[in-house]
Amino acid sequence: MARMFGTDGVRGIANTELTNQMAYRLGQAAVVFLGKTIVVGKDTRLSGDMLEAALVAGIESAGGTAYLANVIPTPAVALLVRRLNAAGGVVISASHNPPEYNGIKLFDANGFKLPDAVEDKIEEFVRAGGLEQSGKPMPVGSDLGFAVPLNDAVEMYIMHAVDSVRGQGISFEGMTIALDTGHGASSMTSPEALRRLGADVHVINDDYDGLDINVKCGSTHLEPLQQLVKEAQADVGIAHDGDADRVMMVTPAGEEIDGDVIEAVCALDMKERGVLANGTAVTTVMCNLGFVHAMRDAGITVVQTKVGDRYVLEEMRAHGHTIGGEQSGHMILLEHNSTGDGLMTAVQFLAAVKRSGKTVEEAAKVVQKFPQELINVRVADKNAVMESDAVKGAVRAAEEALGDDGRVLLRPSGTEPVVRVMVEAKDDEAALTHAKTIADLITSLGL
């Protein structure tokens, strides 16, 4: 049986894979495993109301209090949990996935995502039938829970971002910003926050009908934003995914600014201000080699983890680092929030650019991207490929040929019968040649 929790909560097609019964039992589990007071937020998906009703019923049936934040970014829920001294938080969202999907992710009392061990206990509780099948008496009468609307939830989150910049003596006066909120939760927050900081904001996709979230827009589809940047003659373009825990940007020329570049600019600024803990930036093995070189040249140590923001966060918490991120635009700035925060990342990036005296385009040049070639090879046994002496030898040969001017990453897919061969090099031809040599060898082995 597949594990219920993925890398970012429970996720699936709403009403078939992610059912109301699951939401109800997860609501109960939040009270049983986290505590009596739970902050609940959601993105703009049509299924959000349905799953929220079931989840809140579960919280109430277990004797808990549900603080309803309504439509709000995921990082806002993490913030509200701490601000309200709640026992935990739940977000109903499938992040960057299509509208028919939804998800449920939980935060502890400190606004952090739950460790695997706790998720496993919750999964066992849900599969066993929830509180009704636990053998414990169900709350009745005055022991039942209730829901409390949080009417100022959005305002609290907006001001958290605004104050973080104002506190640095920075204003965005004179800056023109193009913004794509992806028909998602950031429609309620990012435009207002950026305007309060003085920017002239041109926004698209800030309406929603529950069926358009992430559809050909937002951080995974930058074309509409690139067009808006051109039309508005903007200094920068900003795009969020559905629950706004990520951000991607574009320059005035329409060039993509991904998480590697955003993290590099922020890390350099933090080092300059003396607030870069341990002189270290955390990223994943999928970051571009150009990021590693840029940090090395600036005297910043880079620590790389497995792919997934949870692994980045684990490394940060274990060793006291304060900045970490992924190429996808999922950035964690522990000075400001306990999870990936698209709005906070955007305003801190722009504050860093302002302080540098450069344009966005100039600041982004700190990372000189290495060409990257990725080949997915279908195999019967991923482990056999990863353990093959012949494959290891081919990888070593490529690494020796590339030296410090490239790298090889061989990674089995977590969801498909595929091994991913990724090669970075100083030029496209070298990257393709080495990637194809290794991929062809894997195919020829028939593993």
What is the predicted pLDDT for the residue at 209? Answer: 97
What is the three-class DSSP state of 365? coil
Edge-to-edge order in the sheet of strand 331-333? 301-305, 280-284, 323-325, 331-333
**Greatest Cα pair distance in the chain:** 73
pLDDT at 6: 85
**Two tokens, residue 142:** 């005055």
- Residues 6+ away with beta carbon under 8 Å from 140: none
Which pLDDT does position 307 carry in this prediction?
86
Cα-based distances in Å from 148 to 57, 91, 151, 406: 13, 16, 9, 55
| 444 CB-contact burial (10 Å; exposed 0-12 / middle 13-18 / buried 19+) | exposed
Q: Above 80 in pLDDT, residue 415?
A: no
Query: Tell me, what's the pLDDT at 447?
Result: 86
Encoded tokens for 435: 């990637």
pLDDT value of position 136: 87
Torsion sign over Cα 131, 135, 136, 142: positive
What is the DSSP code string of 18-67?
B-HHHHHHHHHHHHHHT-SEEEEEE-S-THHHHHHHHHHHHHHHTT-EEE
162 — pLDDT class (breaks 50, 70, 90) = very high
- CA geometry: angle 245, 248, 251, nearest 5 deg: 155
Q: How far apart are CA 96 and CA 94, in angstroms?
A: 6
* pLDDT value, residue 199: 98
pLDDT in tens, 362-375: 999 999 999 999 99
Give the integer Cα–Cα distance in Å for 440 and 397: 15
pLDDT of residue 135: 87
**What mean pLDDT do residues 417-429 have?**
93
Contacts with 351 (C-beta within 8 Å, 6 or more apart), sequence order:
165, 168, 170, 269
pLDDT beyond 80 at 4? yes
- What average pLDDT does range 331-354 have in this prediction? 97
Q: What pLDDT, on the 0 to 100 scale, is given for residue 163?
A: 98
Query: pLDDT by residue (tens digit) across 40-96?
Result: 999 999 999 999 999 999 999 999 999 999 999 999 999 999 999 999 999 999 999
Quick one: average pLDDT of 307-328? Answer: 94
Nearest to 310 by CA among 122, 117, 443: 117
Do residues 364 and 251 make contact, with C-beta atoms less than 8 angstroms apart? yes
CB atoms within 10 A of CB 6: 16
pLDDT of residue 404: 87
424 membership: H or E segment, kind and range: strand 418-425
In Å, what is the CA distance from 107 to each residue of 44, 50, 97, 171, 236? 20, 21, 20, 32, 32
Local confidence band at 174 (pLDDT 50, 70, 90 cut-offs): very high
Q: What is the model's pTM?
A: 0.92
Which band of pLDDT confidence, cut at 50, 70 and 90, is reported for residue 2? confident
DSSP 355: H
Please give the positions annotated as active site: 95
Please give the C-alpha separations between residue 441 and each of 184, 199, 283, 385, 393, in angstroms, as whole numbers: 44, 54, 30, 10, 11
Give the pLDDT of residue 110. Answer: 97
